[in-house]
A and B are shown apart, each in its own frame.
Chain A
Amino acid sequence: MTLASLTKPWEAMSYGFLDASAKRELRRKMLKAIAVPGCQMPYASREVPMARGWGTGGLQVTLTLLKPSSVVKVIDQGADDSVNAASIRSFLSKVSGATETWDTTEATILQSRHRIPEERLRADQVLVLQVPNPEPLRPVEPNMSVARQMHADADYGRLWLILYEQIVRSGRVMQGAAYPSLVNGRHVMTPSPIPRWDVPKLHMAQHLTFLSAGREKRLYAVPPFTRVEPLVFSDVPYQVEDHAALTCHRSGVSGYFMNEIPQDDGSSAFEVSDSHLGIKTIRQAEGAAIRIGPTWYENGKMPQ
């Protein structure tokens, strides 16, 4: 045996950047995550050529899933052209040879920060959500070792308590994004800071969702056809953002999650947050042969 026989010709980087040992660990943890929906799996979380907190968890999962025939879409706050989304997308295609797209219906892998696209995802698509803080118990228990024990005991009483206190103090649940949700009736997860508008899209969905926090070294999954139920009291229904009646001032679409753009005169204009849905709507109106996929929300309502 020689040293040469143990190695291979030098290459600047492995296919998909991560080396085989990193991918193997991730694949094992991803399979475990699917097997126990919503349960956080610790993983080594290698450094990647991007700063922590900038989507390195999502990036590692996506890099592990990618193959040359993949079609990848990356969004940040719903927008494909957001600077960090553009940076991640070009890195992904550069290291894997995957095709880039902005179109939700064309993508096989979608990496996203803080949004789920408005067009329904299918069984042949995988959604990868970037997660800053994977621990729904963090507001009530900052210590991770203690929080881990609480998950093991399904001890979620203090989470219910803060929701109750919000109702008492403010007359409603004040949780904004990252609404804590019970997965498969067992583990409470944070769905990442997606707006409340997007949480119902995870419930009994056709697609597989991975949620990965690189800095915190935890990943978890929502497999297809899995219950995802926001924590609510039976007499206080879940409330999504009051956006159903808003209209996008650029594309004219309404009934979707909107970005609010403050105006000089003190009023607000709105534009659809799923930026490529806006683009497709405009191009369709201009007569281009554009197909807009079926959307989760119809006329501003999520069908039950």
Chain B
Amino acid sequence: MAYVATRGGERAIDQSERLYRAGLGQIDAARVDEIRRALPMLIDRVMGEASLYEPDLAALALAQAGGDLYEAVLLLRAWRTTQPRLAIAEAVLQDQLFTHRRISAAFKDIPGGQILGPSLDYAHRLLATDVLRGVPFIPTAVDPASVAAPAHQPSLAAWQKAQGLVADPARTDVAPDDIPDLTREPLLFPAERAHRLQSLARADTGGMLALGYSAMRGYGNAHPTVNELRLAEAEVRVRHPRGTVFSAGRVKVSQAEVTSKGKSGLLELGFCATLGWNEVKVISGATLDLNAPGAAKGSPVEEEFFLYHTEPVEASGFCIHFKLPHYVTFQSSLDALRGAKAATPAAPVKVTA
């Protein structure tokens, strides 16, 4: 009967998905490999937001999603959450990082030196249009420095602490199993320090920039100065069940520390770190962290506000959910609207003189 005609749901969604995937074509190991090698910054961004460090899987997710970042992050998060948590790595300390780039805007020079490392900061952003005419762009070789930069660098904040310029809260050592894990526990407010930093680490880069930028423009309380920005590799040191501590490999990490003069007469610090190299994200995140203490409820620099609204999987999912049918709720509102209209006597018609 008539109802049978409406039973198209399952076939329709199947065909719709086929149509999308047909547009992407065959995905093979070569494509995934090319994405991984050609787009390291994008891979880093996706790995950071997914909080999963696996460049091959990140490249695969990007291939499957056709480059849709939110889809790629969701693919990786959904895969990640089902994986067992085998071990908890040792804490990574600043001066143990294998540092590629380390700069400070707060001082002309800093103990350990300013290390520019790889950067486009001072490049002229000109499109190499010759490439499209068949002339490949071949990067000019790097001249090695006469003295190699030291692989390990002290943290600038350690020097500031020694100078009595910043507050130096006592470090508490937490047993690895007691470190709060945002991926296994709900985020509650006021958030634990670990939860806030974990949430910032996996936040949406664009969302964080928007809110961080609003604080930088003046909607925050504190103007950031980049105390230290680092791109580095961190050793992942885990304990084997037999007790030996070994390195399971290295991951690329970025971190930013921003500072401003606080009311206490000391410098205040904001911090953000993430997997992969993503400077815009960590500077924005550190700015939000710096501005959060004492922020008014509902302001963009209040932690509840910025942590909820920069969660990429939740924000993008809710945004696209508005495509789902809402006719029952709409019907319910319509009923109230008509009921009110029927009950209201018609307004007298104004007669113009």
Chain A residues in the interface with B (C-beta under 8 A): 1-3, 6-7, 13-14, 17-19, 21-22, 25, 42-49, 51-54, 56, 76-79, 81-87, 90, 113-115, 132, 142-146, 170-178, 193-197, 215, 217, 239, 241-243, 250-251, 257-260, 273, 275, 278-279, 282-283, 286
Contacts and interface: CB of A to CB of B under 8 A. Distances in A.
A113 B325 CA distance: 10
A77 B327 contact: yes
A282 B320 CA distance: 35
> Binding site of B, secondary structure by majority: helix, strand, loop or mixed?
helix
Given A51-B317, A52-B321, A143-B298, A195 B332 contact: yes
Nearest to B308: A144
Which of B1, B187, B329, B344: most chain A Cβ within 10 A? B329
Interface of B: 1-3, 6-10, 12-13, 74-75, 77-78, 80-86, 183-190, 240-242, 297-298, 304, 308, 313-314, 316-321, 324-340, 343-344
12 contacts: A17-B82, A19-B81, A21-B184, A47-B81, A51-B316, A52-B314, A78-B328, A144-B189, A193-B332, A242-B335, A258-B331, A273-B331
A63 to B, nearest CB: 11
Contacts of B332: 176-177, 193, 195-197, 241
Given A172-B343, A278-B3, A77 B328 contact: yes
A13 B67 CA distance: 25
Nearest to A260: B331
A214 B190 CA distance: 20
A253 B114 CA distance: 78
B207 to A, nearest CB: 14
Contact of B336 (A83, A90, A176): A176
A83 B9 contact: yes
A83 B84 contact: no
A53 B13 contact: no
A132 B321 contact: yes
B152 to A, nearest CB: 30
A241 B13 contact: no
Contact of A13 (B10, B82, B319, B330): B82
A77 B82 CA distance: 30
Closest 4 A/B residue pairs (Cβ): A52-B317, A53-B321, A176-B333, A42-B186
B78 to A, nearest CB: 5
A170 B343 CA distance: 8
B340 A250 contact: no
B308 to A, nearest CB: 8
B188 A42 contact: yes
A197 B184 CA distance: 37
Contacts of B184: 21, 25, 44
B167 to A, nearest CB: 25
A83 B325 CA distance: 9
Contacts of A172: 336, 339-340, 343
Given A51-B321, A176-B333, A144 B304 contact: yes
A176 B183 contact: no
Given A178-B329, A286-B1, A46 B10 contact: no
Contacts of A258: 331
A104 to B, nearest CB: 15
Contacts of B82: 13-14, 17-19, 46
A15 B78 CA distance: 15
A5 to B, nearest CB: 8
A177 B328 contact: yes
Given A25-B184, A47-B80, A170-B340, A83 B318 contact: no
B329 A176 contact: yes
B329 A114 contact: yes
A279 B343 CA distance: 36
A220 to B, nearest CB: 14
Contacts of A19: 81-84
Contacts of A51: 74, 313, 316-317, 320-321
Nearest to A283: B1
Contact of B325 (A3, A45, A82): A82
Contact of B9 (A42, A56, A85, A142): A85
B343 A171 contact: yes
Contacts of B339: 172, 239, 242
A197 B336 CA distance: 12
Given A44-B186, A114-B328, A176-B329, A275 B335 contact: no
B336 A174 contact: yes
Contacts of B343: 170-172
Contacts of B317: 51-54, 56, 215
A259 B8 CA distance: 18
Contacts of A197: 332
A81 B6 contact: yes
A20 to B, nearest CB: 9
